[in-house]
């Protein structure tokens, strides 16, 4: 959807690819773009890990530039069009307005969490590729813990930045903004609703299109250039997709080699110098394609979150069980490891 939003913002006269009412219905466009992207990622995975690593490095550079662009945009004076969309610059009053919960009808903390959670699952990408690491025992703990710390700090900073600089709802109407921010105009002469008044009654049933509640491209509005944020969205999304499409088949291949499940050895063979699990690639491709054809981000994200949480619960329980039963094959070397922390992880995942 970011690509469609970018085309709408930067391509004059853009009205979508196949969907007629592009502003309210873009499902088929999302399916086309997602399917083509998935095919390209599958080809990249089959080509080999060398090219996967090169592409990931390029995506990382693009992502870093987009983050810098976002931070710079918060300190610069902006046009009235940007302010009308809810941007305020750094403001304590904006932070106070954003401090409390403001869920739309039918939404809750857990529904938002289900959409957000898949964004932090990339921290285990290194563990999924353990067979390709030179020294997995050293690289995986360092990489995973570094990813957790970096991800946590980054998301906390970005959430704080948006909370201090952007309002939850705004109309984006420049005329309304000029009328209600011009102190020389008496309130009795202000014939239009405030650009911050998004109640249905004041707008004859129409909804506001901007603010953090309504506009999914809030960071693009805040950033200095806008298009770099779209590039960062592409980089983050494609990077995660590559990691999943490359990592999941290798885990499946390892399970197949050990014959942990009946009839699963079909996925054990590998091809090429890196023993690439091509059969696993194809299986994961069709699973991902099915999710793309659903074309509903909130629904797919909630489904993925359930699978991830279930997997993490089983991993934590396996670790706890191996420690309590004193399994001779389980010898954790991490200095601060505690089986009780694993049990807490199980409880958090279940509840």
CA dist., res. 89 & res. 164, Å (int): 7
pLDDT at 201: 67
Model pLDDT for residues 303-320, shown as the tens digit of each residue: 888 888 888 899 899 999
- Bridge partners, residue 166, by sequence: 87
- 309-323 in b/e form (b: 16+ CB < 10 A) is beebbebbbebbebb
Question: Any long-range contacts for 185-188 (C-beta under 8 Å, 24+ apart)?
Answer: none
Within 10 A of 37 (CB to CB), how many other CB atoms are there? 16
CA dist., res. 348 & res. 310, Å (int): 11
Q: Is the pLDDT of residue 77 over 70?
A: yes
- Bridge partners, residue 170, by sequence: 210
With H, G, I as helix, E, B as strand and everything else as coil, classify residue 271. strand
Model pLDDT for residues 205-223, shown as the tens digit of each residue: 778 889 998 888 899 999 9
Dihedral pair phi/psi, residue 166, rounded to 5°: -140, 135
Band (pLDDT 50/70/90 cuts) for residue 66 is very high
220 within 8 A of 73, measured Cβ to Cβ: no
211 within 8 A of 86, measured Cβ to Cβ: yes
Higher pLDDT, 14 or 323: 323
Q: Tell which phi-psi region holds residue 146, choosing left (phi > 0), alpha (psi between -120 and 50) or beta.
A: alpha
Mark out the alpha helices in the chain (DSSP H runs). Answer: 2-10, 27-47, 49-73, 80-84, 92-98, 109-116, 125-128, 136-165, 174-181, 218-222, 227-257, 278-294, 297-324, 339-350
CA dist., res. 179 & res. 192, Å (int): 8
Q: What is the DSSP letter of 267?
A: G
Within 10 A of 263 (CB to CB), how many other CB atoms are there? 8
pLDDT at 95: 94
Higher pLDDT, 105 or 71: 71
179 within 8 A of 190, measured Cβ to Cβ: yes
230 within 8 A of 220, measured Cβ to Cβ: yes
Band (pLDDT 50/70/90 cuts) for residue 157 is very high
For the full predicted model, state whether its pTM sits above 0.85: no
42 within 8 A of 285, measured Cβ to Cβ: yes
């Amino acid at each position: 959807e970011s690509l469609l939003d970018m085309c709408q913002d930067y391509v004059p006269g853009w009205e979508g690819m196949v969907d007629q009412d592009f502003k309210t219905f873009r499902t088929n466009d999302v399916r086309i773009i997602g399917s083509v992207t998935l095919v390209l990622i599958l080809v990249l995975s089959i080509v080999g890990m060398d090219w996967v690593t090169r592409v990931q490095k390029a995506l990382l550079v693009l992502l870093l530039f987009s983050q810098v662009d976002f931070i710079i945009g918060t300190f610069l004076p902006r046009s009235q069009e940007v302010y009308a969309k809810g941007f305020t610059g750094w403001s304590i009053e904006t932070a106070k307005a954003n401090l409390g919960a403001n869920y739309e009808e039918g939404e809750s903390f857990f529904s938002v969490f289900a959409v957000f959670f898949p964004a932090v699952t990339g921290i285990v990408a290194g563990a999924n590729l353990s067979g390709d690491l030179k020294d997995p025992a050293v690289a995986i703990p360092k990489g995973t813990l570094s990813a957790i710390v970096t991800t946590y700090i980054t998301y906390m900073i970005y959430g704080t930045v948006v909370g201090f600089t952007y309002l939850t709802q705004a109309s984006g109407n420049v005329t309304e903004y000029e009328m209600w921010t011009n102190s020389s105009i008496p309130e009795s002469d202000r014939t239009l609703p405030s650009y911050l008044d998004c109640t249905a009654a004041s707008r004859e049933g129409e909804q506001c299109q901007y603010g953090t509640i309504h506009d999914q491209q809030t960071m693009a509005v805040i950033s200095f250039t806008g298009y770099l944020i779209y590039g960062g969205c592409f980089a983050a999304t494609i990077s995660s997709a590559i990691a999943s499409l490359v990592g999941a088949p290798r885990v499946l291949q390892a399970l197949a080699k050990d014959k942990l499940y009946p009839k699963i050895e079909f996925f054990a063979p590998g091809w090429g110098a890196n023993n690439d699990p091509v059969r696993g690639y194809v299986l994961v491709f069709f699973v991902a394609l099915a999710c793309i054809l659903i074309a509903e981000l909130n629904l797919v994200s909630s489904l993925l979150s359930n699978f991830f949480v279930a997997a993490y619960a089983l991993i934590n329980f396996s670790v706890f069980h191996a420690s309590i039963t004193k399994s001779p094959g389980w010898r954790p070397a991490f200095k601060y490891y505690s089986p009780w922390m694993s049990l807490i992880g199980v409880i958090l995942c279940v509840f």
